[in-house]
Amino acid sequence: MYIGRFLVVGPDTAAYRVSSRSFPNRQIIERDDRLTVVPTDAADETDNPYVSYNCVRPVDDRVVVGNGSHTDPIAEKLALGYPARDALALSLLALDFEKDDYDTPRIAGVVGPESFVGTVRRDGLVVEEVTEPTLVATYEKDSPEPTEITIESAAGAANAVYDADFEHAVCAAGVARAGNGFETAIENGD
C-alpha cells in the first residue's frame, strides 16, 4: 500500500517518513537544531516547498514534526507560548492542503508535556491529543489512527517507520524526549 508521507506521534516520541513516487532522491540532514528534507544531490537543490522543508524543529520542551513548510509557523507559535493544539490548528488552516494534483494533506505533530497530532485535508481539519502511538498519512490513512508501529527511542522510531510495510520509503526521522530536551535520529537508508 502507498500512503505517502506519514508520521507517528508517541506520546513521548515521534517519527516521520518520507515516502515518494515522484521525488525519491531525497534525504534528511541536520542543520543547526532542526532536521531538513533535501535532494540527495546538492546539484538538485530546490526551492519547491513540497520537496525541501524542515520536518523536525524543537522548541524548548516541545518538538514539531511535519511534512512541509507548516513545520516552521507551528514552531514559531510554540515559541510564542501557544498551546500545541492552537499552534497546529492555526498553522494547518492558514497554509491549508497542498495545491498539487492530489490535494495532498498537510500532517503534523507536537511532542511535549501534551502531545498532539493534526492534519488538514480538502474536506477537513483534525487536531487531537495523542495518548497512544498514533499514525496519520497523506494518503489512505489520512485520519489519525492507533498504530502497532513501536517507536521507543529516536533511532528506534526512525528505523521503525523507515522499515514499515508501506511502499516507496525514502528517508525518515525520529525524535524522543530526553531530559528537558530531545534527541533526534535520521534514517536515510544508506
Ligand X SMILES: NC(=O)c1ncn([C@@H]2O[C@H](COP(=O)(O)O)[C@@H](O)[C@H]2O)c1NC=O
Min CB(167)–ligand X separation in Å = 10
Considering the complex, state which of residue 100 and residue 190 has its C-beta at the smaller distance from ligand X: 100
Min CB(21)–ligand X separation in Å = 4
Residue 148 makes CB contacts below 8 A (sequence gap 6+) with 133
Whole-angstrom CA distances from 52 to 63, 101, 164, 170, 182 are 19, 18, 23, 13, 23
Min CB(133)–ligand X separation in Å = 21
Contact 169, 6 (CB under 8 A): no
- How many other C-beta atoms lie within 10 A of the C-beta of residue 82? 16
- Measure the CA–CA gap between 181 and 102, rounded to whole angstroms: 36
Residue 42 makes CB contacts below 8 A (sequence gap 6+) with none
Considering the complex, state which of residue 13 and residue 67 has its C-beta at the smaller distance from ligand X: 67
Considering the complex, state which of residue 127 and residue 177 has its C-beta at the smaller distance from ligand X: 127
Min CB(36)–ligand X separation in Å = 11
Contact 176, 9 (CB under 8 A): no
Considering the complex, state which of residue 23 and residue 82 has its C-beta at the smaller distance from ligand X: 23
Residues within the interface to ligand X (CB under 6 A): 4-5, 18, 20-23, 37, 50, 67-68, 98, 100, 102, 104, 138
Min CB(98)–ligand X separation in Å = 5
